[in-house]
Amino acid sequence: MNSRNHLVFLTLIFIYTTFNTIKASEDITFHFSSLSLHNITLLGDSYLRNGVAGLTRETQVPSSSSGTIIFNKPIPFFDHYTNTAASFSTRFSFAISNVNRRSPSFGDGLSFFLSPNNDTLGSPGGYLGLVNSSQLTKNKFIAIEFDTRLDLHFNDMNDNHVGLDIDSLNSIKMVDCLAAVGIDLKSGNLLTAWIDYWNDGKNLKVFLGETSFKPVNPILNIDIDLSGYLQDFMFLGFSASTEGSTETHFVENWSFTSFGIRHVKPRVKNPHNVSDNTVTKNPGIEVPNDVGNHDKSHKKVGLVVGVLGPVFFCAILIVFGYVSVKKLKGGKTEINMQAELLTGPKQFSYKELKTATNGFNASRIIGHGAFGSVYKAFLSSSGATGTTAAVKRSKHSHEGKTEFLAELSIIACLRHKNLVPLQGWCVEKGELLLVYEFMPYGSIDKVLYQESEQWNFLKWSHRYNIAIGLASVLTYLHQECEQQVIHRDIKASNVMLDANFNARLGDFGLARLMDHDKSPVSTLTAGTMGYLAPEYLQYGKATDKTDVFSYGVVVLELCCGRRPIEREPEGNKMINLVDWVWELHSKGAICDAVDKRLNGEFDLDQVKKLLVVGLSCANPDSEKRPSMRRVFQILNNEAEEIKVPKAKPTLSFSNTLPLSLEDIMSSSDEDEDEEDLSRMGPKITVYPVSRVAI
């Protein structure tokens, strides 16, 4: 065998061996000392804070809540060829506590589950976030429940037990934790659970302890064959729920190992034992007279091939590597997105979205912006969650790609009821496309200003609920995600309304991720005039407080039905909404700012509260602005209102270039046609301020 053939042979052996090694290796192991959005998906009311997952809302007032966290990748649990199921072992630490120590109310509990679906999210209450109250048999699962409420509907033994549930919340077997191991699940102490399933022995054991040392005896020991319920691939996760209680549920660390699936190895006919009968004998060949010359010639050719073969092979590898790297750089967006979002939103084909938008027909455009255009789409694919969607088509500029990547990488990891749900994405044929759930009423901006026939639908109760929803999602972004998310473009045209007039925050093209408690970094100022905090305009440092300022402006818009910056009906003088409301506040007539189109149909106390909250958030002094959590608590009557000074505080900055409010607005008039709902004010990059009183 010459050198080239030898190299090819070794390469094939290496590939074959590697392939079979990978194929045969189905054992999965992971260990998370702290949880991360890189590894898990949050559903419902769940959230991350400093590596700890909270599964239900944390509130002083009794509420109903359910949340789920799911490991991003499916785990193999069954092999049909050999009819074998995996054994597995998992360990995790959790705590079930209570926010209200003075008058605690408990229920309902927490569970660890295996499910064939990665979207398991059930109802609050006794359903433990595992099943839907209206479809009790729809979700399939194997779960270990740590139940803290006696629910006779599911034949619970008491309010402090561990049980095994399979496709039903009527436990196959349950054990009283206090009687068995002296543990109160509701103590608030950090507890550690071990769950071991041995498939060969058809046995499941659950251990529970208050230390990191595994107890000798299990709290739950069941002889059961789970192979009939285990599917080829399943998802792992935790769920929890409350109903009229202030109970909280946390998961801190998590380890998992699966093993024992056997595979059928492919048979190779007579790989070594070859009989003479199977060998084809070559017929005799007459040797020519110039055999010596031919032999020398063959030797030379063999030598050349032997030397140049490996060189040629290496050259091919180098060229292939160079082309691959170049393509990798050129198509980095698509490759990275496919890797990161493999288990996340759906990847649509360009053909699907082109068909759904009627070839991106201009008649389907429902919004414009600096990023590009938004099209109404009708999806016919069975994989889509709905028939109508909104497709966001980014411009082909460098900035467009940057905003696209920011939006996709950030929002794909976020889960909150007040976010516009991301259904999918597409990076194909040079196009950057995002697919969102369609919002039937569009944006607040659209309902308040552009479609006068719809304003009467936006009643006061809707407006107040929108303010609460927006405060809730900003609390989530600022304080409950693993990394703090600064939106940087909170404005009325980016707050959508669903069919029930609930607020849905969208457009994360300018959003930035930050580590909690980390100093902000100066960036190019970006956003929309009228919503930008003064310190952000001056120094370009986006923080959670700059988002709070923008929220305050949106709240004032909701109350007053007026734009952040607008010209007087008669004359060219510009009116700043914050200044106008603050002036009324200084006169003791703040409620006069309420939208006259409401015809007096509103709750006076709520109006005053919301207007004061708006002013406190739009305070020029960032240190005096409340956190979004505080705002959320105030609007839910869980915290005292903030006192706002009668006179608006003033701040003074210095720079080299003078710029007045009129200058900014007049310079933007030329670009109005290109801006997203331009009457809201111009989108800007950098505006230095010179001795401008804010």
For the chain, which domains are there? 28-259 (2.60.120.200), 336-437 (3.30.200.20), 444-517+527-641 (1.10.510.10)
Q: Could you read off the pLDDT of 567-601 as tens digits, one per residue?
A: 777 767 788 999 999 999 999 999 999 998 888 88
Across 210-335, the runs of DSSP E, i.e. the strands, are 220-223, 233-245, 247-259
DSSP character for 522? Answer: B
Q: Residue 342 has what pLDDT?
A: 42
Alpha-carbon distance 106 to 427, whole Å? 47
Alpha-carbon distance 193 to 212, whole Å? 9
Block residue for tokens 């003075």: 102
- pLDDT beyond 80 at 395: no
DSSP character for 135? Answer: B
DSSP character for 672? Answer: G
pLDDT higher at 81 or 235: 235
Block residue for tokens 């944006």: 443
pLDDT higher at 418 or 81: 418
DSSP character for 569? Answer: S
Q: Could you read off the pLDDT of 500-524 as tens digits, one per residue?
A: 889 999 876 666 655 445 544 444 4
Q: Residue 403 has what pLDDT?
A: 60
Between 211-220, 429-438, 460-469, 622-631, the lowest mean confidence (pLDDT) is in 429-438
Q: Any binding-site annotation on 392?
A: yes
Report residue 334 as tokens. Answer: 């698509």
DSSP character for 419? Answer: B
Q: Residue 523 has what pLDDT?
A: 45
615 confidence band (pLDDT: 50, 70, 90): very high
Query: Mind telling me the catalytic residues?
Result: 489
Residue 259 phi, psi dihedral angles, 5° rounding: -165, 165
- pLDDT beyond 50 at 8: no
Looking at residues 617-630, what average pLDDT do you find? 93
Closest of 585, 577, 578 to residue 609, by C-alpha = 585
Looking at residues 64-87, what average pLDDT do you find? 89
- Helix H or strand E segment including 472: helix 460-475
- pLDDT beyond 60 at 55: yes
Between 214-228, 392-406, 640-654, the lowest mean confidence (pLDDT) is in 392-406
Q: Is 52 exposed, middle or buried (0-12, 13-18, 19+ CB in 10 A)?
A: middle
- pLDDT beyond 50 at 692: no
Chain centroid to Cα 33, Å, comes to 21
Three-class secondary structure of residue 538 per DSSP: helix
Q: Could you read off the pLDDT of 331-349 as tens digits, one per residue?
A: 444 444 444 444 457 888 9
Three-class secondary structure of residue 303 per DSSP: helix
Residue 590 C-beta-side C-alpha neighbours within 13 Å: 24
Q: Residue 406 has what pLDDT?
A: 62
Q: Could you read off the pLDDT of 298-323 as tens digits, one per residue?
A: 445 455 555 566 666 666 667 666 65
* Largest separation between any pair of C-alpha atoms in the chain: 120
Q: Residue 244 has what pLDDT?
A: 83
Closest of 112, 115, 126, 147 to residue 64, by C-alpha = 126
Residue 298 phi, psi dihedral angles, 5° rounding: -65, -35
H helix runs in 390-442, sequence order: 398-411
